[in-house]
Structures are given as structure tokens and as C-alpha cells.
């Protein structure tokens, strides 16, 4: 009995073991099967993917060394024509592609795909950020382009909108809003020339400036990139900048007026971008505003010979401006007679198109776009546009027109005839440029209120200094400085904070300066003569700076309050990219100064505080008191018809 039981048990155990090992085997087979499916599937997918992205250029022989287009003594038109006739369709489309340097799979792609332009989008810098390394990085890319079959050099673009500000060590000039406050075309012209020479020293040949935007709403995060809300002032300063950039000085750099068209007049709450409120938003389709406010600065820029114009990311009514043939071809190219090339903004050709990239490229090129800031996926762009031409969805004539415009500007900029030269690296951040920037700071600082406290004495007295912007070059420089969203702190080589500038100015005179960032001077026995609170906005760029209610932040208000306890008089200096709502607070200050975003030369502020120079700047746009006044029309009328805190053109002096 017992034996049979044991035998049964053993048999059952064996059966179990068998079943278990069978299961194991099945599992193993299944895993092996699944793994092979994944491997094979992956391989098939890879083949399809590579096939889809494969882009081969027809193999053509190089041109003769004496080809007409290579001859600098030939007229530009003849050189363009000769070169165009030698180009394959793929080479032409390659010229229409502008890509961010970070998107290059390998530098040789510039040569292999005949790319037309490379840019350093904000923050795209060499691994070590100094002028020498910028030069090396760009030189390598230029070399690749010159080794392409036809040797067509690239445009290398950058946003040097307040000096060559991506480069550590460069002079950081005041942002445009400050230059608008100076109203000084000659100064702007000199700044553009100085910036162009710093750009040239790093081998770059294209600057995405000037901005001709005209902000109607201070809640927008790009107010400071504009000179003014006044089309007349924008035209005057824009032309001065273009002339300084594109010559006739030593350094011809291609300028780009932006952001065509009407940017600054978007409606709050109507942005294309999910995270923004007004940037990249809708502009009302208004023919009167178009002809009277939006087009005039571009007419002035075109008449000044600007080589490129960047179309913005906004909508005109319900359609994107970049898709709008009426605005780009009929108005800009035909009516204004623009002969340069039209470039789109970052992802401008397709980010918000609501259609496929293929269709978006067709729409934008047919609307008049000549060079697309992709900024990635150049192979797909060339393939798509080639297909569209082959299917007659874009005419060969349109492609030829776009490429001729680009080539014309390349010849005009002398890119084909450039000789290798040692770069003038020393000019980057040179003393002469810093002096010019310092002068620009004092010319752009607006005195808003003065109850007999300014100018300050340079010979005696005691001054307390406080505030988030007092000793912070990053804050006073704002965004588009080294990084897209700016930096915090004092790590820009050669720069001077406002506190340092004041200390340098008073030197060893009898004036005593005490600094405490938070204004905590509570251990004092007696009040100081003057307290200066330097309050600041944190740097921001583009829609990240859209703000429903721009104001002085709580910490700085607290600092002002504390400073008042220890000073007889209080001066508030506002470092900001736009007017802030100060209606309630200003009443209790003895003096108020709008310093905008002055850049690397903080000593320029001391120059006006201590009257080494009188205050002369005036507001380049109205300074609103409350939100209900927004937007403020270009003629100065507020939305609720009440008076702004200060109108455009307001500014006191200390003469
Ligand atoms: C900005 C342009 C800029 C471009 C290239 C975009 O995000 O709107 O003003 O020129 O980037 O950096």
C-alpha cells in the first residue's frame, strides 16, 4: 500500500517536473520569439526610417576654377545668375535651410547638403565660451561650406541685440528700450558699428537685429527688445542700426530687421503658444494700422538697404503671418521693393501651422519665405521641398527667386571673396567699446521724479545702497546675455555693477558708501543723507516674461521700506525691461529713475546720479499707471481713456 502510495507520489512529482520544464521551455521559446520580433522589427523600422530620411545629392562635377561667379570683378547680378545656373535643385533648397548649430549631426553635413545658413540660437555656444573659441567653431563650419561642390559660404547668424552678448567678455550695451529712451541715432549707429566689429572678430557674419517691434502692452515679455512704441522713432533708430551694421565701416555684417509685422500689437490672452499670454499672439487685421504703424519702419529699413527681414511668429487675424502672401510678397517685396531675403523665425515655418510640415513648407515658401529657420531636421526639409517642386506645388521660379536673393546678399557681404585673416579678438570688450556703452547708459537713464535730491554730491555725505539690482551684472544685463534667459550674478568678465560704478565714481572723496542688499542698516545711530534702492526684474526672454501685472517684487519693496528707516531721502532706481506699475509706491519716494537694462557698464548710472552728465533721456513709450489702461495705442491713447502715469517723451533733467 505504502509502496504504491510512494510510487504514485513519485510519478505525480515527475509529471509535475515534466510540466514545469515544459513550461520553462515554452517560456524560453516565447522570450526568444519576442526578442527576435523586436530585433527584426527594429531592423525593419530602421531600414524604413533611414530610407525615408535618406537624402542623396546627385553627383556632379565641380565648376572650373575660372567660373564667372568666382570672379570678384564681375557685377553681383552676373555672378548670381552664373552660380544659379550651375546649381542642382537639391543645392538650391540646401541654400534655403537655416539650422541651429546644435542640430548638425556632423559638421560635414554643411558641405554635403550645401546648407545656406547656421545659427547659434540663444545659448548655442562653443564648449568654452570665449571669443577665440567662437572664432574657431565658426571657422570650422565656414570651411565646410567652402568645400562644398560650388563652394558657397554660409551665413552664420546670431542674436547680438545688445552687443555681441552671447560671448563671454563682449561689451554688453543697454537693451534697445534704453536706446529708444536716448533717442540718439548717432549713438545707436556707433553701437551697431562696435557690435558689428565684435561679431566680425568671432567670424560671424549675420546679426538678427534690429528689432522694429512696437510694444503697446507692457505685459509682453519682449518690450525691452524694442526701441519704442512709436513707428517714427523705430524707423530712425532702426535705420541708424542697419547702417552701422552693414557698413560702410570695416565690418560688413548682414542685418535682419524683425519681427515682420506688427509685432508688439498682439492681443493679451491670444497667444499661439500654450504657455504664453501675448508673445506669438494674434494681431488684429487692420489695414489702417498696417499702413500707418506697422509698415513705415520696414519701409525705412528697406530704403536703407537692409539685407534680410525676419518674419515673426504672430498671426495676422486668423492666419499666420509667415503664410501670408499678401503681407510678404505683395506688401514687402512688391510694394516696398524689398530686394533682400525673407527669413522665418525659430520653427516659424511650421510650429503652429495646424498642418503637416510638408504642407507648411509649401505654404510659407509660396507666401514668399526665402530662408527657413528650421532650426532642426534639414534633411527632411530638403526632401519635402524637392518633392513639392517635383509635384509642381512650388514653382521652380519661386525657388530660383529665393536662392537668388540669398546668393545676392552673400556676394554683397563679400563672403565669396573673403581672405583668411587673423581675427581682431582684442576688439571684443575693448576699452573703447566699454566707454561707448557707459555713455549709452547715461544717455538712456530716465529721471522720473526728483524732489531736490539729485544730483548727488561727490564730495561729502553718507549714502546707503540696497536692492536686488545693486550688485548684479546679470540682472542689469537682462536676458539674451550669455544664456537665452539671462544670468544671475557678477560673472561677466570686465563688467561693472551699479554699486561698483558708484564706488568708482566717488573714489576716495569724502562720500561714504555702505551696502546691504536687503537694506538692513538697523544698527545705525543716525539716518544717512540718502538711501538708494536699486530694484530689479529677474531676467526673462520672450513669452516667459509675459506677466499679467509687472511690478516691483515683494522683497525689493521690503528693502525700500527698510532703507527709508535709515535714510533721510530715498531714491529708487528701477532695473527693468519695461515700465512697472509703481503708481502707489512712487508717492513715497524722493526720486525715481528708470534705468532699463543698462548692460555691463553700471558706472554709466553713477555718471548721471553725480552729474558728471545731466539726465537727458525721455520715455520711449507711455508708462501706464494701472492694468485697465492696457493696451496703449500708438497715438498714446490708453484703453480706459485715463492718463498714464507718464506719457511718452516724459523725462526730467538735472541741468
Ligand atoms: C526669436 C528671434 C531670434 C531667433 C533666433 C527666436 O526665438 O523670436 O528674435 O532671432 O529666436 O535666435
In three state form, how does the secondary structure of 72-134 look? Answer: CCCCHHHHHHHHHHHCCHHHHHHHCEEEEHHHCCCCHHHHHCCCCEEEECCCCCCCCCCHHHH
Q: Which atom of ligand 1 is nearest to the CA of 259?
A: 9
- pLDDT above 90 covers what percent of the chain? 86
Distance 280 CA to ligand 1 centre (A): 11
Residue 515 Cβ < 6 Å to ligand 1: no
Q: Which atom of ligand 1 is nearest to the CA of 121?
A: 12
**CB contact burial 323-361 (16+ within 10 A = b; e otherwise):** bbeebbbebbbeebebebbbbbbbebbbbbbeeebbebb
Of the candidates 322, 303, 260, 261, the one whose C-alpha atom is nearest the C-alpha of residue 286 is 261
**Could you tell which of 122, 254, 483 is best to mutate to test the pocket of ligand 1, judged by most ligand atoms within 8 Å of the CB?**
122
Residue 556 Cβ < 6 Å to ligand 1: no
pLDDT at 354: 86
Residue 87 Cβ < 6 Å to ligand 1: no
What is the overall mean pLDDT for the chain?
95
Q: Please check whether residue 446 is in contact with residue 619, taking contact to mean a CB–CB distance below 8 angstroms.
A: yes
452: left (phi over 0), alpha (psi -120 to 50) or beta: left
Residue whose C-alpha cell reads 525691452 in the numeric block: 224
Per-residue pLDDT band for 53 (boundaries 50, 70, 90) equals low
Measured from the Cβ of residue 72, the count of other Cβ atoms closer than 10 Å reads 11
Per-residue pLDDT band for 51 (boundaries 50, 70, 90) equals low
Q: Which residue lies with its CA nearest to atom 5 of ligand 1? A: 121
139 has a pLDDT exceeding 60: yes
Span 116-121, mean pLDDT? 98
Q: Please check whether residue 598 is in contact with residue 497, taking contact to mean a CB–CB distance below 8 angstroms.
A: no
What phi and psi values does residue 228 have, to the nearest 5 degrees?
A: -170, 170
The residue annotated as part of the active site, out of 229, 230, 370, 542, is 542
- pLDDT above 70 covers what percent of the chain? 96
150 has a pLDDT exceeding 80: yes
The conformation of residue 296, written as its DSSP 8-state character, comes to H
- β-strand partners of 206: 157, 254
1 has a pLDDT exceeding 70: no
- β-strand partners of 163: 161
More confident residue, 24 or 385: 385
Distance 121 CA to ligand 1 centre (A): 7
Q: Does residue 186 have an active-site annotation?
A: no
User: Residue 197 is placed in which grid cell?
Assistant: 566689429
Of the candidates 341, 378, 343, 342, the one whose C-alpha atom is nearest the C-alpha of residue 357 is 378
| Structure confidence by residue, pLDDT tens digits, 493-547 | 999 999 999 999 999 889 999 999 999 998 899 999 999 999 999 999 999 999 9
Q: Please check whether residue 428 is in contact with residue 202, taking contact to mean a CB–CB distance below 8 angstroms.
A: yes
Q: Please check whether residue 332 is in contact with residue 298, taking contact to mean a CB–CB distance below 8 angstroms.
A: yes
Q: Which of 26-30, 426-430, 481-485 has the lowest mean pLDDT?
A: 26-30
What whole-number distance in Å separates Cα of residue 484 and Cα of residue 551?
22
353 has a pLDDT exceeding 90: no
pTM over 0.75: yes
Distance 484 CA to ligand 1 centre (A): 10
Residue 346 Cβ < 6 Å to ligand 1: yes
The residue annotated as part of the active site, out of 345, 462, 471, 546, is 345
Q: Does residue 384 have an active-site annotation?
A: no
Q: Which residue lies with its CA nearest to atom 2 of ligand 1? A: 345
Per-residue pLDDT band for 293 (boundaries 50, 70, 90) equals very high
What whole-number distance in Å separates Cα of residue 56 and Cα of residue 177?
47
Distance 122 CA to ligand 1 centre (A): 8
Q: Residue 133 burial (CB < 10 Å; 0-12/13-18/19+)?
A: middle
Q: Which of 4-18, 75-89, 238-252, 280-294 has the lowest mean pLDDT?
A: 4-18
Query: What is the full DSSP assignment across 353-405?
Result: -SS-HHHHHHHHHHHT--BEE--S-HHHHHHHHHHHHHTTSS-HHHHHHHHHH
Span 335-358, mean pLDDT? 94
Of the candidates 557, 226, 583, 596, the one whose C-alpha atom is nearest the C-alpha of residue 446 is 596
User: Residue 248 is placed in which grid cell?
Assistant: 560702410
Which strand (E) or helix (H) includes residue 257? Answer: strand 254-260
Q: Which of 3-7, 453-457, 475-479 has the lowest mean pLDDT?
A: 3-7
pLDDT at 7: 66
pLDDT at 5: 62
Helices assigned H by DSSP within 268-331: 287-289, 295-303, 325
Amino acid at each position: 500500500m505504502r509502496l504504491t502510495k510512494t510510487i504514485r507520489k513519485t510519478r505525480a512529482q515527475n509529471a509535475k517536473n515534466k510540466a514545469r520544464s515544459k513550461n520553462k521551455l515554452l517560456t524560453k521559446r516565447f522570450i526568444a520569439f519576442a526578442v527576435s520580433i523586436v530585433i527584426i522589427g527594429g531592423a525593419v523600422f530602421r531600414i524604413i526610417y533611414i530610407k525615408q530620411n535618406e537624402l542623396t545629392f546627385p553627383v556632379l562635377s565641380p565648376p572650373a576654377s575660372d567660373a564667372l561667379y568666382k570672379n570678384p570683378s564681375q557685377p553681383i547680378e552676373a555672378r548670381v545668375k552664373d552660380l544659379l545656373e550651375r546649381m542642382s535643385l537639391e543645392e538650391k533648397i540646401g541654400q534655403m535651410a537655416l539650422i541651429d548649430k546644435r542640430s548638425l549631426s556632423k559638421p560635414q553635413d554643411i558641405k554635403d547638403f550645401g546648407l545656406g545658413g547656421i545659427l547659434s540660437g540663444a545659448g548655442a555656444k562653443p564648449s568654452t565660451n570665449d571669443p577665440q573659441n567662437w572664432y574657431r567653431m565658426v571657422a570650422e563650419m565656414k570651411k565646410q561650406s567652402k568645400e562644398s561642390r560650388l563652394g558657397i559660404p554660409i551665413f552664420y547668424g546670431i542674436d547680438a541685440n545688445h552687443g555681441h552678448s552671447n560671448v563671454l567678455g563682449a561689451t554688453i550695451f543697454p537693451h534697445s528700450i534704453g536706446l529708444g529712451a536716448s533717442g540718439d541715432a548717432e549713438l545707436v549707429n556707433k553701437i551697431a558699428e562696435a557690435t558689428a566689429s565684435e561679431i566680425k572678430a568671432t567670424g560671424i557674419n549675420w546679426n538678427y537685429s534690429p528689432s522694429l517691434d512696437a510694444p503697446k502692452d507692457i505685459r509682453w515679455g519682449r518690450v525691452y527688445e524694442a526701441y519704442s512704441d512709436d513707428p517714427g522713432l523705430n524707423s530712425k533708430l532702426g535705420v541708424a542700426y542697419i547702417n552701422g551694421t552693414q557698413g560702410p565701416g570695416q565690418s560688413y555684417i548682414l542685418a535682419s530687421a524683425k519681427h515682420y509685422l506688427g509685432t508688439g500689437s498682439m492681443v493679451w490672452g491670444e497667444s499661439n503658444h500654450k504657455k504664453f499670454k501675448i508673445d506669438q499672439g494674434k494681431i488684429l487685421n487692420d489695414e489702417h494700422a498696417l499702413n500707418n504703424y506697422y509698415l513705415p519702419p520696414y519701409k525705412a529699413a528697406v530704403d536703407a538697404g537692409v539685407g534680410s527681414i525676419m518674419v515673426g511668429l504672430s498671426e495676422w487675424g486668423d492666419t499666420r503671418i509667415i503664410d501670408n502672401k499678401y503681407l510678404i510678397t505683395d506688401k514687402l517685396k512688391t510694394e516696398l521693393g524689398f530686394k533682400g531675403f525673407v527669413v522665418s523665425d525659430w520653427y516659424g515655418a511650421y510650429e503652429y501651422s495646424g498642418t503637416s510640415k510638408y504642407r507648411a513648407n509649401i505654404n510659407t515658401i509660396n507666401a514668399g519665405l526665402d530662408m527657413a529657420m528650421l532650426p532642426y531636421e534639414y534633411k527632411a526639409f530638403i526632401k519635402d521641398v524637392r518633392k513639392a517642386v517635383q509635384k509642381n506645388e512650388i514653382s521652380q521660379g519661386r525657388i530660383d527667386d529665393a536662392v537668388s536673393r540669398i546668393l545676392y546678399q552673400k556676394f554683397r557681404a563679400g563672403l565669396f571673396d573673403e581672405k583668411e585673416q587673423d581675427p581682431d579678438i582684442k576688439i571684443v570688450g575693448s576699452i573703447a567699446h566699454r566707454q561707448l556703452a557707459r555713455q549709452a547708459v547715461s544717455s538712456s537713464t530716465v529721471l522720473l521724479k526728483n524732489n531736490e535730491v539729485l544730483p548727488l554730491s561727490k564730495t561729502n555725505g553718507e549714502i546707503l545702497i540696497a536692492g536686488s539690482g545693486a550688485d548684479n551684472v546679470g540682472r542689469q544685463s537682462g536676458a539674451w546675455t550669455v544664456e537665452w534667459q539671462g544670468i544671475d550674478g557678477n560673472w561677466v568678465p570686465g563688467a561693472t555693477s551699479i554699486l561698483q560704478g558708484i564706488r568708482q565714481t566717488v573714489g576716495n572723496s569724502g562720500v561714504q558708501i555702505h551696502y546691504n542688499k536687503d537694506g538692513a542698516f538697523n544698527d545705525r545711530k543716525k539716518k544717512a543723507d540718502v538711501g538708494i534702492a536699486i530694484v530689479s526684474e529677474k531676467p526673462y526672454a520672450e513669452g516667459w516674461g509675459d506677466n499679467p501685472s509687472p511690478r516691483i517684487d515683494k522683497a525689493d519693496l521690503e528693502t525700500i521700506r527698510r532703507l527709508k528707516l535709515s535714510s533721510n531721502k530715498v531714491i529708487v532706481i528701477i532695473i527693468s525691461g519695461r515700465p512697472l506699475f509703481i503708481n502707489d509706491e512712487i508717492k513715497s519716494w524722493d526720486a525715481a529713475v528708470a534705468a532699463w537694462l543698462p548692460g555691463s557698464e553700471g558706472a554709466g548710472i553713477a555718471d548721471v546720479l553725480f552729474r558728471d552728465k545731466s539726465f537727458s533721456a525721455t520715455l520711449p513709450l507711455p508708462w501706464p499707471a494701472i492694468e485697465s489702461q492696457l493696451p496703449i495705442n500708438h497715438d498714446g491713447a490708453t484703453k480706459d481713456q485715463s492718463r498714464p502715469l507718464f506719457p511718452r517723451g516724459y523725462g526730467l533733467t538735472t541741468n
